[in-house]
Amino acid sequence: MADQGASSRRDRSCLVRKMLVGISILLAAYVVLSLVGSVVIFRTLFGRKELPAANLEYAYTEAVGRRYPRTAETFPSGKNLLRGYRYAGGENGTVVIVSGFAGGADTHLPEAMYFVDHGWTVFCFDGTGARESEGSGVMGLSQLKLDLLAALAYLRESSPDAPVVLYGHSQGAYAAATVLNDCPEVRAAVCIAAFESPVETMYYHAKQRVGMLADLGYPFLCLYNALLFGSECNESASAAIAEADVPVLVVSGSEDETVPDAISLYAHCAELESADAQTLRIEKPPRNHHSTLWRSEDGASYFLEKADALDALRDRYGDVKPGGEADAILRGLDYEKLGEADAAFMESVQEFFLRSVS
């Protein structure tokens, strides 16, 4: 009987050891696969971003260049040289335009022309890994803050006495909000469709696509983002605004599916006690979408019509290349209408900037 008891205990002990080994293997596999998955996701989503052949940007053509000459410049951001453009406009100061994810120096060309017409020098640039700038990829949602800091340091050297205001969209709006405490020359910022923080934004969109898998991968998403960007990894845009003594206008659209209220800076601004934070909610369609907030009503309708047509081709073919149906959509585009900015909106931005530099 004693031998049977000892044998039973040995069997139980062996079973426990096997269970612990099995759990350890599963945990190790979970950690390794999650880390590898985070790396793969970052390299896939945040690889190089060239201007696609089928795009709806108002391009800097020869005709535009004759009316709005600019100088091409380069400046360092980390180990990469970035391409920037400067439009000489007037004595008000410098508007730095910071585009959203996968955008570039020409993404907000209509607004740049507006600012030049109203007495501003304009500086815009392609971020790391985008278009004409160096870099193997755009790295992540935190990278554009580092690029904007580099751009502002470059402008500080070339024109140290000029007041600077920031005009950012989406990822660029997040960057504009989070540099305010680091750059005393910045007098104001307009943040259009900004998200509150990078990790929460990535997690939100992952959750919409893969459900509970996003919860399992969340710790490793945070870890890899921190390994890439260090202390700059996940700053709160609203906290940065609250700490800065800088006027900020936060603009949001009621039908923004890219940066909905769940992750938007606009939603967090309700909690701010800073008197410097102003908000503007655009409710009326078609201007209340992520990429139509600054457009005129006609321009927004036209943009959405063409964007929906190109999205339908992407859904069907996985990509949109020149030729066939894509050419039928792109042929004869009315770029003036496509880039038409809302006069009242731009006037309000202009007045907001002028008050900040007066």
pLDDT tens digits along 69-89: 999 999 999 999 999 999 998
The whole-number pLDDT of residue 340 equals 94
3-class state of residue 305 by DSSP: helix
Sign of torsion over alpha carbons 144, 149, 153, 158 = positive
> Can you tell me the mean pLDDT for 95-111?
97
Q: What pLDDT digit, counting tens, does each position of 227-279 carry?
A: 999 877 899 999 999 999 999 999 999 999 999 999 999 999 877 766 679 99
Q: Is 78 left (phi over 0), alpha (psi -120 to 50) or beta?
A: left
Give the integer Cα–Cα distance in Å for 24 and 20.
6
Reported as a pLDDT band with limits 50, 70 and 90, residue 314 is: confident
Q: Supply the mean pLDDT for the chain.
A: 90
CATH code at 60-295+342-357: 3.40.50.1820
Q: What pLDDT digit, counting tens, does each position of 117-138 carry?
A: 999 999 999 999 999 999 999 9
Q: Strands, E, within 24-114: which ranges?
A: 71-77, 80-87, 94-98
Reported as a pLDDT band with limits 50, 70 and 90, residue 7 is: low
Q: What is the largest CA-CA distance in the chain?
A: 101
The whole-number pLDDT of residue 5 equals 59
Higher pLDDT, 38 or 206: 206
Closest CA to 176 of 222, 124, 132, 112: 124
The whole-number pLDDT of residue 136 equals 95
Higher pLDDT, 33 or 251: 251
Give the integer Cα–Cα distance in Å for 228 and 78.
12
Q: Are 170 and 194 in contact (CB under 8 A)?
A: yes
CATH 3.40.50.1820, the chain: domain bounds = 60-295+342-357
Give the integer Cα–Cα distance in Å for 90 and 207.
47
**Predicted model pTM:** 0.92
Q: Which of 48-62, 225-239, 285-299 has the highest mean pLDDT?
A: 285-299
> Can you tell me the mean pLDDT for 52-78?
91
DSSP 323-356: STHHHHHHTT--HHHHTPBPHHHHHHHHHHHHHH
List the structure tokens of 26.
């599963």
The whole-number pLDDT of residue 37 equals 63
Q: Are 197 and 260 in contact (CB under 8 A)?
A: no
212 has a pLDDT exceeding 90: no
Cα 134 to chain center, whole Å? 18
The whole-number pLDDT of residue 299 equals 97
